[in-house]
């Protein structure tokens, strides 16, 4: 499961980079960023939720991701309900920063956790065939 999770996240990150490269010359490049977020966000959120529920390795770190993601989603919901007030007080650039930067920071953090879980976490269950790690 951990290799599938890492592989799909890698494909989505690659997809995001390709979309960003394709859209960098266009005026609507933000659409490409949001499209990549549309795929990455739900995948990582539900992956994190499942890892926490089944107490997989690094579930404490993934719990941090899940809590931060939930707080961010709740803040987006609250912000969308009072959207006119926010637009009056914040510039367009500030709103874009709030909508783009935190999700990608969370995505990078979870990608690092998944990489650590899949490739760097060493488990030694015994002395028999220690070099084989499944």
Q: What angle do CA 55, 56, 61 make, to 5 degrees?
A: 85
pLDDT > 70 in the chain, percent: 84
Domain boundaries, the chain: 2-120
Convert the pLDDT of each residue in 75-129 to its tens digit: 888 877 776 555 567 777 887 888 889 999 999 999 999 999 888 766 555 566 6
105/17: higher pLDDT:
105
Per the CB < 8 A criterion, the answer to whether 45 and 68 are in contact is no
125/37: higher pLDDT:
37
CA distance 45 to 108: 13
């Amino acid at each position: 499961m951990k290799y599938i999770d890492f592989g799909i996240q890698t494909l989505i990150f690659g997809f995001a980079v390709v979309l960003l490269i394709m859209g960098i010359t266009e005026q609507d490049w933000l659409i490409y960023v949001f499209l990549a977020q549309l795929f990455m966000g739900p995948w990582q959120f539900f992956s994190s939720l499942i890892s926490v529920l089944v107490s997989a390795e690094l579930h404490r770190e993934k719990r941090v991701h899940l809590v931060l993601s939930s707080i961010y989603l709740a803040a987006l919901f609250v912000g969308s309900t009072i959207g006119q007030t926010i637009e009056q007080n914040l510039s367009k650039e500030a709103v874009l920063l709030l909508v783009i930067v935190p999700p990608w920071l969370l995505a990078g953090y979870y990608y690092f956790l998944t990489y650590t879980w899949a490739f760097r976490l060493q488990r030694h269950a015994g002395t028999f065939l220690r070099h084989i790690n499944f």
